[in-house]
Amino acid sequence: MEIAEALPAAEHAPKRPRGRPRKTLEDRDDGNRRGELLRSAAKLFRRKGFDATSTRDIAAAVGMQSGSPFYHFKSKGALLYAVMEEGMRSAIERQASSLKRAEAASPDAAQRLGVLVRSHFDVLLGPGSDFIPVMLYEARAITPRQRASLAELQSEYEAPWIPVLDALHADGRLKAPVKLARLLIFGALNWSAQWYDRRKGASLDELADAAMKLFIGEAP
């Protein structure tokens, strides 16, 4: 017996679309609401602190009922970790994109360090920059397993800096040992999240130039 005879209705059945099924409006809305929750929670956690921010505060910021955030996240702690993870993954992607453009333009190590510094300031201080400062200052509120997971992402983020610092040290433009220089550079850059005010201070470009002069005595 032929297959066509065994399944006579098949010729009239609608064809299944190839690939992944399209997201419904409800699915897309869930994704959008999750993103809204992450952005609003990041802003509140940064401004008020994790302990002082309630789920009611977060829900109100996105126009939800007070219990609705738990549809997307099991707890306020889970939401905090998601904020940190989202911040790190976004920072990795943005840094990679900046480096790709820089490497196409110039192989010079000082130029690449300038790009890394400027990108880091954008992550810390630019638009939508609440995620990473939350990770820097609220790490005590997450579990050891979550901290270990974030440490892996942090290592991935910092990895492109090491060959750049190695190259600068090899040609004498970076005087300090690379390991200590990396720790001191990140310490200095990250502290700017505490004091920088874009309404009163320098632009991020000016800030990056000043940092480069401090680190290796020259701007990119």
Q: Is residue 1 part of a domain?
A: no
Q: Has residue 170 got a pLDDT over 80?
A: yes
Percent of the chain at pLDDT > 90 equals 65
Q: Which two tokens stand for residue 128?
A: 């939508």
% the chain with pLDDT above 70:
85
User: Does any domain span residue 142?
Assistant: yes
Cα Rg, the chain, nearest whole Å: 23
Considering the domain boundaries, does residue 28 fall inside one? yes
122 touches 204 (CB < 8 A):
yes
The verdict on residue 9 lying in a domain is no
Q: Of 26-30, 68-72, 78-82, which gets the smallest average pLDDT?
A: 26-30
CATH number of 64's domain: 1.10.357.10
The count of domains in the chain is 1
Tokens for 115, please give them. Answer: 């790009």
Q: Does 111 score more than 50 pLDDT?
A: yes
- Comparing 41-50, 61-70, 121-130, 202-211, the range with the smallest average pLDDT is 61-70
Does 13 fall in a domain? Answer: no
Indicate the pLDDT class of residue 27, thresholds 50, 70 and 90. very low
pLDDT tens digit sequence for 31-43: 578 888 999 999 9
Range of the domain at 157: 23-216
Tell whether 140 is covered by a domain. yes
7, part of any domain: no
